[in-house]
Amino acid sequence: MVFSKMRLYSFLLFLFLATIGCGILYPSQDQIAARNAAVFGILSRGQNKTEQPAQQQEPSITEEELTNRIATLPKVEKPVEFSRKKDGFDVNGVRYLDSEGPIVNYSGDALTGDVTYVIQTDPGKYIVKFIRVLTNTEPAKIATAEKTYGQWSIQTATGKKLKGDGLIPLSMGFAVARQASAFFYTPGGNVRNVAAPDGFNIAGFQHGEVTQSRYILVERDKPSKESDGGTLDKLKSVGAILGINKKEDYALVNIDNGQRVLLNIDVNGKDVTVLSDCRRSGSFAGVNMNKCAKADFVESLYDENGLPNAEHYFWRVSWFNSNLGPLIVVREGSKVYIKNLKENKMVVAFERTLGINWVTAHRKGDGRIEAVAKLGFSEEKIDDVEAFYREHQPVPFQ
């Protein structure tokens, strides 16, 4: 009997200990349910974060508010002078910087101080800002942009969306190029489109006062390698340089009425050679020689040494608004012309039989347009392009 009770007590003690152990090792049904709910919630949140598309940026300001903000900006006391640099620009000789990233492109109005510039914040990501320089005011972010596989996606601060092949800053606002058309956006205004003439597309770089003069540069469609764009095209390019014939691959088009003025500038001049996959193959006269497997021709404003690519159309034509009407300074063949687009007349500014190395034209701080040309080993300068045109006998151009 005693033995039986002992066995019974031992059995009950075992059940008690087993129950405690099970409670420790295995959670209750309520605990299991709570744990499963928490795990499911975490997984659901992770799934939603992955599957949900990125939210579009909400407009931060209305067009009316942006218009009012720009209208309240103080005026500049006198014209300013911009100087283009490879990594941005100078204002009256002082480099202009932005704390959010390097400035990769800009366009400014020397008379008003208005500037729109583009900064790169991350690879493929950009911010477009507008500022009136020398007025001690903060720049206004007017758009954000992304570039993926050569295509631009832009959203203005007011919510407008634009897509295209190129982003072109203007003195106030920007244009988005899409092959044969461009879409202009002015802060506080609507988007308007301009079409290029048949056989042309919008040039990716604009070295002129587009907004003020109302002219935009277009580029002739480049022939494919399989077409006539081979030997004959190269012969035409050489002939254009020597002044034997014309190769009018560019034109200025009035964005209001479509008027077109052809320019004798070769489209092939915008290409420079970029060598890659190179290895040293010896030396000659103390200079290391490299043998390269690839030679790619890419559009560039600068050559491999970081100097301006003088044959690029960007450096060959500049245009300005003036009291005489829109004036352009253009290097065509062995001459540099000043052309008045209002009168359809021109004068010769510089001339050299052996060719002109390069020419630059820009607006000075007092409002004058200055032109400088490199002719062999010497430089020549025209202090006032507008006055020079008045003082010489202009002739009609076709």
**Reported confidence tier of residue 224, pLDDT bands at 50, 70, 90:** low
**Reported confidence tier of residue 278, pLDDT bands at 50, 70, 90:** low
310 within some domain = yes
What is the number of domains present in the chain?
2
- State the average pLDDT for the chain: 81
Structure tokens, 82: 């911009």
Work out whether strand 345-351 and strand 358-363 pair parallel, antiparallel, or are unpaired.
Answer: unpaired
Note whether 258 and 153 are same-domain residues: no
Note whether 205 and 183 are same-domain residues: no
Note whether 129 and 237 are same-domain residues: no
pTM: 0.75
Structure tokens, 155: 């959203």
Higher pLDDT, 230 or 328: 328
**Reported confidence tier of residue 226, pLDDT bands at 50, 70, 90:** very low
* 239-248 contacts at long range (C-beta below 8 A, 24 or more positions apart): 240/264, 240/266, 240/333, 241/266, 241/333, 241/355, 242/333, 242/334, 243/333, 243/334, 243/335, 246/332, 248/220
Residue where a domain terminates, one of 188, 220, 250: 188
Note whether 244 and 389 are same-domain residues: yes
Note whether 370 and 393 are same-domain residues: yes
**Mean pLDDT, residues 327-345:** 96
Note whether 137 and 247 are same-domain residues: no
Note whether 184 and 223 are same-domain residues: no
The range of the structural domain enclosing residue 238 comes to: 196-270+304-398
102 within some domain = yes
Work out whether strand 250-254 and strand 260-263 pair parallel, antiparallel, or are unpaired.
Answer: antiparallel
Residue where a domain terminates, one of 188, 212, 247: 188
Cα distance between the two ends of the chain: 131
179 within some domain = yes
Higher pLDDT, 290 or 367: 367
Q: Is 211 helix (H, G, I), strand (E, B) or coil?
A: helix
**Mean pLDDT, residues 308-319:** 92
Note whether 168 and 221 are same-domain residues: no
17 within some domain = no
Does the pLDDT of residue 146 top 90, yes or no?
yes
Does the pLDDT of residue 254 top 80, yes or no?
yes
H-helix segments, 108-246: 210-213, 231-242
Structure tokens, 212: 């003020």
Note whether 211 and 331 are same-domain residues: yes
- Per residue in 23-62, pLDDT (tens digit) is 434 444 454 444 444 433 433 344 444 434 444 567 789 9
Residue where a domain terminates, one of 123, 158, 188: 188
Note whether 166 and 253 are same-domain residues: no
Q: Cα(88)–Cα(86) distance, rounded to whole angstroms?
A: 6
